[in-house]
């Protein structure tokens, strides 16, 4: 973070690139095999696991707030849970203070130092346990106080009362049950519980998504104050870009299980590099009078399935800047259309049968007419004559029911670097390299 920005306590002690690395995530993967039956495994064909997190690497520096942002289903929460070993990683490693956590030995120690605050305060506290007991539980589990001085019960009680007051609640409320608190208050209790063991690192998994804005602001300010008071390091997971911008020093943007861009907060918001980041920032409606005049060109389509993610760059199926082959002179909209046709051929998602029926009803039967009809339905933009002919040839193969040949035919001419090569680097895009 640049030094001319006023310090509101979110920046902690890190400054720029050279902060000490507290937690390092290397090539982390988490696949979920649910729905893949034993039979599928024996037959070998059913390895279509959900690739929730697929090779994610980043560092969290001491004292900073690292934001992890992305849309639902991009794997950001799974990253948080896998780091804390609430989920077993499929592959990859996490090291904390230089120590690799892949064996279980250091895990108890690590879990004392790393805590998590969950999204839904109503379901993350035991409804049948007074909130004071919930806060005390981590102390009991880790045999606090570690110095062994004084009366244990009394010291624990004191600690719990202290924590409760530190998060802005009253110590007389300790014997109440979660149902007696509002969402914002419960989230404060969650924070108190996370702070109980004086951790260095806290994963904040959408901590304010369930709250209203006025209460959200209270919690965000509280988190910022606690960070500067206790020198905490946060991994802040959220889908809300406004919140992310407000509280984070550096930001990691995820899409479909992978990181697309990592950048300091200020830079990411003023000068986004990756086309997905740009689209994401553009989509957020601003609280501003000029908002109605702002022209948004939203991303088309939906996120592909994480069971079968696209090859190469995962964003290429929706990317507004997909790269055509060098020898092809074609504008972006037209090339986007061709790529969409190719995606649909690959997924066999073209209603050939229906088109053939309508053509038959109209008295024709020949393949070129079916192909023409398909072309009209699939391609909106004007293509150069050559390309029009070439795409039509491909669609004739589709009309003949030969999907593979159609796919191969189109691939030959239109194969993009975005699908063959997986981009790497701070900004995972071939345009930036």
Binding positions for other proteins, rule: CB under 8 A: 5-6, 8, 71-72, 182, 184-185, 212-218, 220-221, 239-243, 245-246, 265-266, 269, 279-289, 291-292, 296, 298-300, 302, 351, 354, 377
DSSP 338-384: HHHHHHHHHTT---HHHHHHHHHHTT---HHHHHHHHHHHH--SPPP
Burial classification of residue 186, based on how many CB atoms lie within 10 Å of its CB (0-12 exposed, 13-18 middle, 19 or more buried): buried
CA distance 27 to 109: 23
Report in angstroms how near the CB of residue 16 gets to other proteins at its nearest: 17
Whether the ω angle into residue 217 lies within 30 degrees of 0, i.e. cis, is: no
CA distance 429 to 127: 47
Residue closer to other proteins by CB (options 138, 190) is 190
Report in angstroms how near the CB of residue 244 gets to other proteins at its nearest: 8
Sign of CA dihedral 324, 328, 330, 336: negative
What does the buried/exposed string (b/e) look like for 145-154 if buried means 16 or more CB atoms within 10 Å of the residue's CB? eeeeeeeeee
Residue closer to other proteins by CB (options 98, 401) is 401
Residues 226, 160: contact at Cβ < 8 Å?
no
Select from 70, 22, 67 the least CA-distant residue to 265.
67
Using the structure block, give the residue that is written with the tokens 């072309």: 375
| Beta strands at 21-32 and 91-96: parallel, antiparallel or unpaired | antiparallel
CA distance 201 to 116: 9
| Beta strands at 99-100 and 233-238: parallel, antiparallel or unpaired | unpaired
Residue closer to other proteins by CB (options 8, 230) is 8
Residue closer to other proteins by CB (options 22, 350) is 350
Residue closer to other proteins by CB (options 199, 306) is 306
CA distance 23 to 410: 45
Report in angstroms how near the CB of residue 296 gets to other proteins at its nearest: 5
CA distance 219 to 206: 12
Neighbours of 375 (CB within 10 A): 17
Report in angstroms how near the CB of residue 97 gets to other proteins at its nearest: 29
Neighbours of 328 (CB within 10 A): 16
Report in angstroms how near the CB of residue 248 gets to other proteins at its nearest: 9
Residue closer to other proteins by CB (options 24, 305) is 305
Report in angstroms how near the CB of residue 339 gets to other proteins at its nearest: 14
Report in angstroms how near the CB of residue 217 gets to other proteins at its nearest: 3
Residue closer to other proteins by CB (options 33, 240) is 240
Report in angstroms how near the CB of residue 271 gets to other proteins at its nearest: 14
Residue closer to other proteins by CB (options 301, 384) is 301
Strand partners, 264: 250
| Beta strands at 258-264 and 250-255: parallel, antiparallel or unpaired | antiparallel
The continuous run of DSSP H or E covering 418 comes out as: helix 417-420
> Which structure tokens are listed for 5?
């920005």
Residue 413 dihedral angles phi and psi, to the nearest 5° = -90, -30
Residue closer to other proteins by CB (options 128, 286) is 286
Residue closer to other proteins by CB (options 144, 236) is 236
Residue closer to other proteins by CB (options 106, 310) is 310
Select from 394, 397, 279, 307 the least CA-distant residue to 342.
394
Report in angstroms how near the CB of residue 89 gets to other proteins at its nearest: 26
Report in angstroms how near the CB of residue 93 gets to other proteins at its nearest: 30
Report in angstroms how near the CB of residue 350 gets to other proteins at its nearest: 8
């Amino acid at each position: 973070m640049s030094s001319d920005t006023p310090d509101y306590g979110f920046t902690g002690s890190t400054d720029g690139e050279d902060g000490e690395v507290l937690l390092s995530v290397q090539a982390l993967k988490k696949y979920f095999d649910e729905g893949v039956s034993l039979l599928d495994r024996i037959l070998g064909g059913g390895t279509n696991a959900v690739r929730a997190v697929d090779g994610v690497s980043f560092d969290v520096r001491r004292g900073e707030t690292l934001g992890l942002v992305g849309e639902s289903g991009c794997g950001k929460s799974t990253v948080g849970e896998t780091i804390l070993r609430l989920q077993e990683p499929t592959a990859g490693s996490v090291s904390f203070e230089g120590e690799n956590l892949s064996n279980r030995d250091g895990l108890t120690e690590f879990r004392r130092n790393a805590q998590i605050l969950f999204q839904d305060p109503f379901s993350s506290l035991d409804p049948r346990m007074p909130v004071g007991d919930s806060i005390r539980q981590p102390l009991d589990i880790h045999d606090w106080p570690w110095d062994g001085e004084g009366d244990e019960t009394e010291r624990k009680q004191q600690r719990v009362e202290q924590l409760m007051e530190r998060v802005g609640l009253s110590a007389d409320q300790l014997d109440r049950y979660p149902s007696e608190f509002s969402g914002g208050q419960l989230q404060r209790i969650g924070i108190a519980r996370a702070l109980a063991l004086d951790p260095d690192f806290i994963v904040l998994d959408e901590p304010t998504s369930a709250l209203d804005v006025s209460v959200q602001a209270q919690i965000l300010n509280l988190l910022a104050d606690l960070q500067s008071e206790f020198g905490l390091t946060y991994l802040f997971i959220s889908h809300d870009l406004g919140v992310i911008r407000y509280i984070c020093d550096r930001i990691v943007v995820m899409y479909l299980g992978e990181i697309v861009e990592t950048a300091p907060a200020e830079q990411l918001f003023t000068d986004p590099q990756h086309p997905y980041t740009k689209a994401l920032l553009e989509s957020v409606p601003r609280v501003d009078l000029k908002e109605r005049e702002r022209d948004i060109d939203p991303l088309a389509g939906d996120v592909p399935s994480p069971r079968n993610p696209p090859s190469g760059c995962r964003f290429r199926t929706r990317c507004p800047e997909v790269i055509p082959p060098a020898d092809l002179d074609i504008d972006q909209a037209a090339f986007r259309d061709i790529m969409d046709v190719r995606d649909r051929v690959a997924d066999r998602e073209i209603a050939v049968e229906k088109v053939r029926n309508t053509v038959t009803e109209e008295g024709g039967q020949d393949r070129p007419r079916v192909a023409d009809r398909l072309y009209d339905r699939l391609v909106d933009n004007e293509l150069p004559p050559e390309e029009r002919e070439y795409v039509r040839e491909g669609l004739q193969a589709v009309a003949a029911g030969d999907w593979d040949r159609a796919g191969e035919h189109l691939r030959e001419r239109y194969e993009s670097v975005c699908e063959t090569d997986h981009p790497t680097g701070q900004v995972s895009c071939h345009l930036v390299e």
